[in-house]
């Protein structure tokens, strides 16, 4: 009984983090990051207590344990052996007395220390979700929470567009009344991050629609999840991030290829006509929604700024980052240290990028600078290895051993992860904690899917054994 209380509590607290992080400015402010970390810490501590009280031993893929442990050890060492701390007032690195001066260490103790706290919690989330996903009931609840979170963020963004808001509703507008802020959407200060978040969640909302329409007894759920899907996709279209729109289009095509033939085969002639009429109604609803939310703004941005893509300052910043690669080494400059390292290479560079750069707008190069060749390889194995494991599990055992909800959800999780991986080529979604949290959740599902087969196979083996005994 006590262990069940802890189990339920830790899972609902984790769901609270999934709702809170995107609504708290995407967990991009120092205060929202700290609160998100505390919520995740509470969930993980209660989960560990539940495991100890119940004596239950969660099962994880050995490779996941190795990769997460290696990353914590590597990042922890860089913090423990930090060589300096950055003085932002005088723009200098103040040397520190470290444990092993000849060995690698972070160039900024404070930044790397804070980043590793967040990183360790996110890696713990992967273990937590891999364990949670073994329960069909809690997996469905997780799916619902993700759909509601995405729909609510998209609805707020559309409402802001419809009312011509100059800033997030509860924020102070710009001092100059004629200056319109164009980089925010919903609770995110930067529209690119909002678009990346919505592209993470709307594929799973589409899965809920597919699941609802697969049963004739879910008419109410069909209406609810169809509305949420329309609102979420409309949010991507109304957002002015061109990269997010391109990624969304690619995701639509992939989802149609993945699920379209199977859906058409299950529909009879009369039901196909109803489905076509439903699709047309959805398109008309989205057109009406687009007119009320000023969808012409992102269209105008495509027309007026398409020719400026080649001269975007982010490409110059990437060239500066490439010039720093010879100094990266195996361990990099330290987790989270890009913002203090980049100015050193940018000033005086032939490709000097104007302005202040907190993130590189290219997640892979930034990860390479911060983690070096060894750490970047570990992150690559964790991320793309998780996708590969999810694909392998789905192709090998989904049809035989998985429940229908798992067979629908898993490919959509993989598709969403591929979408954010593409977005990371020209932006920095993987540096934002709310997006990191959802990516960690999806990776936990992918890595945990290797255990789904064992669970259902064991259940089947026990059933067959009992039947033989009878």
For the chain, give the percent of residues with pLDDT over 70.
83
Asked if pLDDT for residue 81 goes beyond 80, the answer is yes
Looking at residue 371, what is its pLDDT?
Answer: 97
- Among 326, 340, 357, which residue's Cα sits nearest to residue 109? 340
Average pLDDT over residues 364-392: 96
The DSSP symbol for 108 reads -
Looking at residue 469, what is its pLDDT?
Answer: 37
Asked if pLDDT for residue 378 goes beyond 60, the answer is yes
| pLDDT tens-digit readout, 138-182 | 999 999 999 999 999 999 999 998 888 888 888 776 554 434 456
> How far is 236 from 157, CA to CA, in rounded Å?
9
Looking at residue 239, what is its pLDDT?
Answer: 86
| pLDDT tens-digit readout, 403-427 | 889 999 999 999 999 999 999 999 9
Looking at residue 298, what is its pLDDT?
Answer: 57
- Among 33, 71, 39, which residue's Cα sits nearest to residue 431? 33
163's CB contacts (< 8 A; 6+ apart) are none
Looking at residue 396, what is its pLDDT?
Answer: 87
Asked if pLDDT for residue 297 goes beyond 50, the answer is yes
Residue 221 burial (C-beta neighbours within 10 Å; 0-12, 13-18, 19+) = middle
Asked if residue 200 lies in contact with residue 442, where contact means CB atoms within 8 angstroms, the answer is yes
CA 146 centroid distance within chain:
11
Token reading at 398:
């989904």
Task: State whether the Cα torsion 347-353-358-363 is positive or negative.
Answer: negative
Token reading at 21:
């992080």
Residue 307 banded pLDDT, cuts 50, 70, 90: low
| pLDDT tens-digit readout, 219-236 | 778 889 988 998 999 899
> How far is 251 from 257, CA to CA, in rounded Å?
10
Choice among 26-40, 57-71, 179-193, 377-391 with the minimum mean pLDDT = 179-193
Q: If you average pLDDT over every residue of the chain, what do you get?
A: 86
Asked if pLDDT for residue 451 goes beyond 60, the answer is yes
Looking at residue 456, what is its pLDDT?
Answer: 47
> How far is 94 from 452, CA to CA, in rounded Å?
51
Choice among 394-403, 416-425, 453-462 with the minimum mean pLDDT = 453-462
What is the chain's percent helix, strand, coil content, to nearest 5?
A: 75, 0, 25
Looking at residue 259, what is its pLDDT?
Answer: 85
User: Is 93 strand, coil or helix?
Assistant: strand
Task: State whether the Cα torsion 219-278-413-23 is positive or negative.
Answer: negative
**Orientation of helix 433-469 relative to helix 30-54, angle to 10°:** 20
- Among 80, 108, 76, 104, which residue's Cα sits nearest to residue 95? 108
Of residues 83 and 456, more confidence is placed in 83
Residue 283 banded pLDDT, cuts 50, 70, 90: low
Element (H, E) at 115: helix 109-132
Residue 130 banded pLDDT, cuts 50, 70, 90: very high
User: Is 155 strand, coil or helix?
Assistant: helix
């Amino acid at each position: 009984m006590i262990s069940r209380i802890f189990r339920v509590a830790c899972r609902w607290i984790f769901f609270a983090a999934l709702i809170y992080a995107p609504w708290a400015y995407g967990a991009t402010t120092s205060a929202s990051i700290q609160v998100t970390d505390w919520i995740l810490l509470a969930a993980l501590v209660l989960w560990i207590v539940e495991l100890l009280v119940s004596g239950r031993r969660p099962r994880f893929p050995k490779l996941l344990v190795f990769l997460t442990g290696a990353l914590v050890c590597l990042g922890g060492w860089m913090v423990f052996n930090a060589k300096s701390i950055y003085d932002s007032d005088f723009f200098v690195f103040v040397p520190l007395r470290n444990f092993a001066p000849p060995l690698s260490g972070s160039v900024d103790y404070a930044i790397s220390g804070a980043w590793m706290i967040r990183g360790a919690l996110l890696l713990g989330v992967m273990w937590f979700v891999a364990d949670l996903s073994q329960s069909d009931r809690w997996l469905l609840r997780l799916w619902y929470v993700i759909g509601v979170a995405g729909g609510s963020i998209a609805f707020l963004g559309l409402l802001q567009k419809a009312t011509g808001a100059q800033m997030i509703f509860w924020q102070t507008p710009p001092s100059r009344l004629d200056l319109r802020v164009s980089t925010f959407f919903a609770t995110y200060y930067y529209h690119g991050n909002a678009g990346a978040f919505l592209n993470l969640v709307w594929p799973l909302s589409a899965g809920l629609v597919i699941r609802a329409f697969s049963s004739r007894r879910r008419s109410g759920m069909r209406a609810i999840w169809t509305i949420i899907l329309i609102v979420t996709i409309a949010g991507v279209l109304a957002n002015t991030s061109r990269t997010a729109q391109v990624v969304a289009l690619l995701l639509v095509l992939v989802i149609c290829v993945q699920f379209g033939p199977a859906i058409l085969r299950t529909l009879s002639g009369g039901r196909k006509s109803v489905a076509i009429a439903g699709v047309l109604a959805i398109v008309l609803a989205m057109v009406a929604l687009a007119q009320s939310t000023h969808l012409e703004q992102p269209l105008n941005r495509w027309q007026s700024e398409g020719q400026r893509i080649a001269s975007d300052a982010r490409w110059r910043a990437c060239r500066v980052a490439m010039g720093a690669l010879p100094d990266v080494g195996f361990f990099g400059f330290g987790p989270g240290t890009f913002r203090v390292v980049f100015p050193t290479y940018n000033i005086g560079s032939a490709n000097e990028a104007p302005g202040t750069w907190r993130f590189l707008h290219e997640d892979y190069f930034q990860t390479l600078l911060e983690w070096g060749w060894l750490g970047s390889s570990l992150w690559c194995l964790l991320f793309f290895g998780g996708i590969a494991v999810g694909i392998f599990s789905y192709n090998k055992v989904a049809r035989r051993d998985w429940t229908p909800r798992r067979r629908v959800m898993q490919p959509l999780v993989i598709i969403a992860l591929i979408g954010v991986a593409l977005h990371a080529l020209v932006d920095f979604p993987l540096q934002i904690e709310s997006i990191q949290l959802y990516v960690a959740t999806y990776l936990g599902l992918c890595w945990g899917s290797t255990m789904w087969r064992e669970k259902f196979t064991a259940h089947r083996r026990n059933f067959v054994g009992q039947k033989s005994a009878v």
